[in-house]
Amino acid sequence: MLAVSDRLIEAALFVLIGIFFDFFDGLVARLLKVQSELGKELDSLADMVTSGVVPGIVMYQLLSKTSDNNWSVFEKENIVGWSNTNIDFLPFIGLLLTLAAAYRLAKFNLDERQTSFFIGLPTPAMALFILSLPVVLIYGEGELAKNLILNKYFLITITLVFSVLMNVEIYLFSLKFKNFSFKNNSIEISFVLVSVALIILLKISAIPILILLYILLSTLKNSTSKA
C-alpha cells in the first residue's frame, strides 16, 4: 500500500524488515524442528509480495516520474464510460519484475538443487536493488547517480536485466555457512567484509553496488571451481 501511494522510502523500510525475517525464518524453523512443506510454500508466498509485487510497483512509480507520455494512448468515450483519459503504458514495464519474480519462485519450489546455492538471482536481492533506487534518489549525495535513476532508459534496462537474472541458469553462492573455514568460504566471507566496509563508507548508496558485486563474485567463484 505504501508503494502504491508513492511513499517509497517507507515501502523500502518494510521490505527491508520483510527480507530480515525471510533470512531467519528457515533458521528458526530448523531450531524449533518445525520445517514443513507448508512452511516452504508460505515462504515463497511471502516472498512474492515482499520481493515481487512491491519492487514491480516501485519500478512503476520510478518510470512514472521519468515518463514524457510518448507511450500514451488518448481514449475518448469507451465502453466503461471513460473520457479524455491519458493512459501512459511506459510505467507498466516495471511490472515485468513482478512476473519474473513469480516465475522464479515457482521454479524454486520445484528445484531440489538449490540447497547450498542459488540458481538465478534470488528475489530478495533483486528487491534490495530496486528499493534502494528511490532511497539513493532522495538521500544520496552523487548527482550522477540521481540523474541515472531518473533516466527511463536506465530503468527499463534494469527491469529487463534483473527479470532475466532471476531466471537464468547462473549459480550464485548462498550465505548459509556450513562451517567457518576461511578456505572453504573465502568468497562469502570476503563479500561480507567488503559489504560492511562499503556500507560504512557509502551508506545506502552501497546497496546497488553490493548486489552487482554479489553477482560478480559468484561468477568468479564458479569459474575458479570449474578450473
The verdict on residue 135 lying in a domain is yes
Cell numbers found for residue 69: 507520455
Please tell me the total count of domains within the chain.
1
| CA 198 – CA 213 distance, rounded (Å) | 11
Return the percent helix, strand and coil in the chain, to nearest 5: 70, 5, 25
Could you tell me if residue 211 is inside a domain? no
Structural domain boundaries enclosing 65:
8-71+89-174
Asked, for residue 181, whether it belongs to a domain, the answer is no
Q: Rounded to the nearest 10 degrees, how much is the dihedral formed by the CA atoms of 52, 45, 40, 96? A: -30
In a domain, 191, yes or no: no
- Residue 93: inside a domain, yes or no? yes
For 28-65, letters b (16+ CB in 10 Å) and e give eeeeeeeeeeeeeeebbeebbebbbbbbbbbbbbbbee
Q: Is 84 contained in some domain?
A: no
Q: Which residues pair with 171 in a beta bridge?
A: 119
Grid cell for residue 30? 530448523
Q: What is the pTM of this model?
A: 0.82
Q: Is residue 21 part of a domain?
A: yes
pLDDT by residue (tens digit) across 49-64? 999 999 999 999 999 9
Per-residue pLDDT for the chain (227 aa), expressed as one digit of tens each? 999 999 999 999 999 999 888 878 877 887 888 888 888 888 889 999 999 999 999 999 999 988 665 444 444 444 455 555 567 888 999 999 999 999 999 888 787 776 667 888 999 999 999 999 999 888 877 788 888 898 999 999 999 999 999 999 888 887 665 555 666 667 778 888 888 998 888 887 788 888 889 888 888 877 665 55
Query: Does residue 194 sit within a domain?
Result: no
